[in-house]
Chains A and B, each alone.
Chain A
Amino acid sequence: IYLLKMNKYNTHTHTHIYMIYDYISNSASFCLPNHSTTVRRPFPLSHGTTTLGFIFQGGVIAAADTRASAGGLVACPAVHKITPIHSHLVVTSSGSGADCMLWERILTREIRLYQLRHRRRLSIRGTAKLLSFMLHPFKGTEVCVALTLCGWDKESGPKLIYVCSDGARLQGDIFSVGSGSPYAYGVLDGGLKWSLSKDEAISLAREAVFRATHRDAYSGNNVDLFHITAQGWSQRKREDLKEEYYRDMEKRSKDRRGKIKRE
């Protein structure tokens, strides 16, 4: 049980940590792991992904693949890795599927409570800080979340902040997270310019996820794309990367035919 001061000037970070203990202990007897007697788990949990986000002149783009792998098995080929928190914030998740799902749920709850208590929406930077402080007690445990908060603040415009369970909290213009991120970074770094149009940015994001899923075994299936502007987030229809692959093959075979003609 904790005491919550409803004072406008009070920072709630300290009490939030106790709220998390409370929340989880309310569900069941939650024991923080005791490292000398950690139980070996006989099953693998879902991991492996490619997610990315970047800022350009038209807002923020968030993209992710949709594969959840558990060891060598594709546990689910159609997961939602990008979840909206509120109308101007989406979060891309990477790491352990269950951890991301539950922590996003906790974050959504805290943001909503903040909005109800303080009659204003918490900024993206504030949200990231809150999430980072909530994850801090679990540093060193098996909790594995690497979230990218992509949103639009009324005061400061587009924002992209990376928060992970190791304690990192970084603001930037491009982030890619997950096992497929090196491949995605290559494509993004090569093609990203501030002055891209909306369609060019979307096709760049899709291309980056496609290349990553092509090379990374743990990413694949479909690509989800979200576009965040001052008016809020909008989601593109989920696209099957199999189609993208066949389109790409078509294009390459045309080029090859072209080359042979020239010689």
Chain B
Amino acid sequence: MFYCVLGFGDPGKMKDYHYTGPVEHKFSPYAFNGGTVLAVAGEDFAIVASDTRLSEGYSIHSRDSPKCYKLTDTTVIGCSGFHGDCLTLTKIIDARLKMYKHSNNKTMTSGAIAAMLSTILYGRRFFPYYVYNIIGGLDEEGKGAVYSFDPVGSYQRDTYKAGGSASAMLQPLLDNQIGFKNMEGVEQVPLTQDKAVQLVKDVFISAAERDVYTGDALRVCIITKEGINEQTIPLRKD
């Protein structure tokens, strides 16, 4: 499903499991550490959730490595992919946030952080950060906002987005349940906060069932104008 399971292989080409002769392996600066991130924007809230499993190949490095990072009081970023690049990228974002605060005397808004992250990622266009980012937060009007990125900086504002190893499994489910897509004769009710949190929990339970890189525990950050509320829910550990 997700080509990076093989790590270094060509996307789309099936690996042949027989002896093909001696092969020289080049050092790859990337590794795939798994993990899934999800963000949902509501009328006056935003939710960013991630699993907490850190894996590499067939091993699990840690069962308690959440992928949501708090940036400001109204913004949380979820980063999945290569953990080394996730850490460095969040350090760089924190530094840039401080610089902005010192020179402009105000905190960066979610939209501004998204635009800045796009340029940071594109600055490494030819040796990209192997990170799939999703920013969730409140915009200037207090409405929920989700910005999703690709590894080189292309981004746009969404209502919901899943990123990481189980993204291809979760995105259609979100399209159906939050976007009411591909259904006929359904009443399109706006999403309440409680319903959204329950949906996120159910969605991650499903992801942990079917994706080997997702599991262990779920960290949910709910962003409202009162602040950021964090919850941890256990998931399958196998």
B74 located at the interface, meaning its Cβ lies under 8 Å from any Cβ of chain A in the complex = no
CB distance from B149 to the nearest CB of A (A): 9
CB-CB under 8 A from A96, the residues of chain B are 152, 154
User: Bound complex: CA of A40 vs CA of B26, how far in Å?
Assistant: 10
B125 on the A face (CB < 8 A) = yes
Taking A40-B28, A143-B125 as contacts, is the C-beta distance between A45 and B156 under 8 angstroms?
Answer: no
Q: A31-B126, A45-B150 are in contact. List 13 more A-B contacts (CB 8 A).
A: A27-B119, A29-B123, A31-B127, A33-B127, A38-B126, A40-B26, A42-B130, A45-B151, A70-B150, A79-B156, A80-B156, A98-B153, A101-B154
Tell me if B28 and A42 are in contact (CB < 8 A): yes
Q: Which of B26, B128, B148 has the most chain A CB atoms closer than 10 A to its own CB?
A: B128
Instruction: Provide the bound-state CA to CA distance between A31 and B125, in Å.
Output: 9
| The residue from B8, B118, B125, B126 contacting A40, defined by CB atoms under 8 A apart | B8
| Interface residues in chain A, defined as those with a beta carbon under 8 Å from any beta carbon in chain B | 24-25, 27-33, 38-46, 68, 70-73, 75-76, 79-80, 96-102, 141-143
State the CA gap A43–B158 with chains docked (Å).
Answer: 22
Q: Given A97-B150, A142-B126, do A71 and B118 touch, yes or no (CB 8 Å)?
A: no
Q: How far is the CA of A141 from the CA of B126 in the complex (A)?
A: 8
Q: Are B168 and A33 in contact (CB under 8 A)?
A: no
Write out the residue numbers on chain A whose beta carbons fall within 8 Å of the beta carbon of B168: 73
Main secondary structure of the interface of A (DSSP, over half): loop
The answer to whether A24 and B123 touch across the interface, beta carbons within 8 angstroms, is yes
Name which residue of chain B comes closest to A70, CB basis: B150
Mask of B112-137 contacts with A, CB within 8 angstroms, 1/0: 00000011111111111010000000
* Residue from A33, A43, A46, A141 in contact with B154 in the complex, judged by beta carbons closer than 8 Å: A46
Bound CA–CA A224/B171 (angstroms): 23
26 CB-based A-B contacts, threshold 8 Å: A24-B125, A27-B120, A28-B92, A30-B124, A30-B125, A30-B126, A32-B126, A39-B127, A40-B26, A40-B28, A42-B4, A42-B28, A42-B30, A43-B151, A45-B150, A46-B150, A46-B154, A73-B168, A76-B148, A76-B156, A76-B158, A79-B156, A98-B125, A101-B153, A102-B153, A143-B125
A102 to B117, CA, bound (A): 12
Per-residue A-contact encoding for B43-79, CB less than 8 Å = 1, 0 else = 0000000000000000000000000000000000000
Q: Is B100 in contact with chain A by the CB < 8 A criterion?
A: no
Q: Tell me, rounded to whole Å, the shortest Cβ–Cβ distance linking A132 to chain B.
A: 19
**Are B7 and A75 touching (Cβ within 8 A)?**
no
**Number of A-B contacts defined by CB within 8 Å:** 94
Closest to A24 in B: B123
User: Please, which residues of chain B bring their CB within 8 A of the CB of A102?
Assistant: 118-119, 122, 153
Q: Main SS of the interface on chain B? A: loop
Residues of B within 8 A of A (CB): 3-4, 7-8, 11-12, 26, 28-30, 32, 81, 92, 118-128, 130, 148, 150-156, 158, 168
Task: Give the distance to chain A from B207, nearest Cβ to Cβ, in Å.
Answer: 16
Chain A CB within 10 A, most for which of B29, B92, B121, B125: B125
Q: Which chain B residues border A31 with CB–CB below 8 Å?
A: 126-127
Chain B residues with Cβ below 8 Å from A75 are 150
With A42-B28, A42-B30, A71-B11 in contact, do A98 and B152 touch (Cβ < 8 Å)? yes
Instruction: Tell which of A33, A40, A42, A143 touches B32, judged by Cβ atoms closer than 8 Å.
Output: A42
Q: How far is the CB of A95 from chain B (nearest CB, A)?
A: 11
User: Contacts A33-B126, A44-B11 hold; do A101 and B118 have CB atoms under 8 A apart?
Assistant: yes
Contact of A99 with B130 in the complex, beta carbons under 8 Å? no
Decide: A27 near B151, CB < 8 A? Known: A40-B8, A42-B32, A44-B11.
no
Which of B28, B30, B150 has a CB less than 8 Å from the CB of A98? Answer: B150
The docked-state distance in angstroms from the alpha carbon of A76 to that of B153 is 14
- CA separation between A182 and B28, bound complex, in Å? 38
Task: Evaluate contact between A28 and B8: CB separation under 8 angstroms.
Answer: no
Q: Do the beta carbons of B118 and A43 come within 8 Å of each other?
A: no
Tell me if B126 and A42 are in contact (CB < 8 A): no
User: Given the complex of chains A and B, what is the CA–CA distance between A44 and B156 in angstroms?
Assistant: 18
Query: Which chain A residue lies CB-closest to B148?
Result: A76
Residues of A contacting B123 in the complex (Cβ-Cβ under 8 angstroms): 24-25, 27-30
The smallest C-beta distance from A242 to any residue of chain B, in angstroms, reads 10
- Residues in A with CB closer than 8 Å to B8 are 40, 42
- Residues of chain B lying within 8 A (CB to CB) of residue A32: 126
Q: Which residues of B contact A43 (CB under 8 A)?
A: 3-4, 11, 81, 130, 151
